Amino acid sequence: MLFAFAENYRADDPTRGVRAAKPAIKSAGHMTWGDDQIAAYRNKHRIGTVARTAIELLLNVAARRGDAHQLGQQHIKAGKKVWRPGKTLRSTGKLLSIPILSELQRAIDALPRNDSLTFLVNDYGKPFKSAAAFGNKFADWCVEAGLKPVLCPDGRTRNYRAHGLWKAACKALAHAGCTAPEIMAVSGHSTLAQVQIYIDEVERDRMADAAIEKLEAKLRTPIG
């Protein structure tokens, strides 16, 4: 309507003052991978394949989809993965330097040697042209691993995809007892509030487990 009014297609804007309705349920966002999904993917895509290296990059150094397809041997320095995530280039310009976990190193070492500057290559042995191209291929690998769509509480059906592994990596760090600044040093988040979400989620899980354990202990206590 604003366009129609500006171009003189209408003499007034009947939508003026009308506010967009808020969704009844907050969006669940990308699906966070769990242990079962990660195990199913690893079981299907063995060490030495590009598909397996992809999940290790996304999971072990918390690389986003837009960064994972650009990473290569030139980003390894003194046993660490060193690069500037694309997202931080537009904000803080933060440089990440993350020790390489053994699972990722094993996947990299098993890759066939080629002339590509990137670890992840397409079916023609060339780097993926874009994050979207890599994302589409990763989606195929997820389907091959038998990962099924999930109906979320907000009523939308979602699939397990690359971004969900970045969230899983952050949650795994929180489960390991990492502080918010420690998680930020790996994930590239720019604010503590963004990371605190993962820590709070893990703490809720722990408190729920502790509560049920106490209740079960109470129920087992003989009366009288």
pLDDT in tens, 55-81: 999 998 888 888 999 999 999 999 898
**Position 34: which residue type?**
G
Asked, for residue 19, whether it belongs to a domain, the answer is: no
The tokens for 194 are 């963004």
**Is 8 part of a structural domain of the chain?**
no
Asked whether the predicted pLDDT for residue 114 surpasses 60, the reply is: yes
Structural domain range at position 154: 28-219
Number of domains in the chain: 1
CATH number of the domain that 72 lies in?
Answer: 1.10.443.10
Whole-structure pTM value? 0.79
In a domain, 5, yes or no: no
pLDDT band at 21 (very low <50, low <70, confident <90, very high): low
Is position 9 within any domain?
no
Structural domain includes residue 152: yes
Please state, in angstroms and as integers, the Cα–Cα distance from residue 147 to each residue in 30, 119, 136, 193, following that order. 14, 24, 15, 31
**Total Cβ atoms within 10 A of residue 145:** 19
For residue 179, what are the contacts with CB-CB under 8 A and spacing of at least 6?
none
With a CB cutoff of 8 Å and minimum separation 6, the contacts of 101 are 60, 61
Residue among 138, 164, 137 at smallest CA distance from 152: 164
Give the mean model confidence (pLDDT) for residues 33-51: 96
Query: What pLDDT, on a 0 to 100 scale, did the predictor assign at position 113?
Result: 85
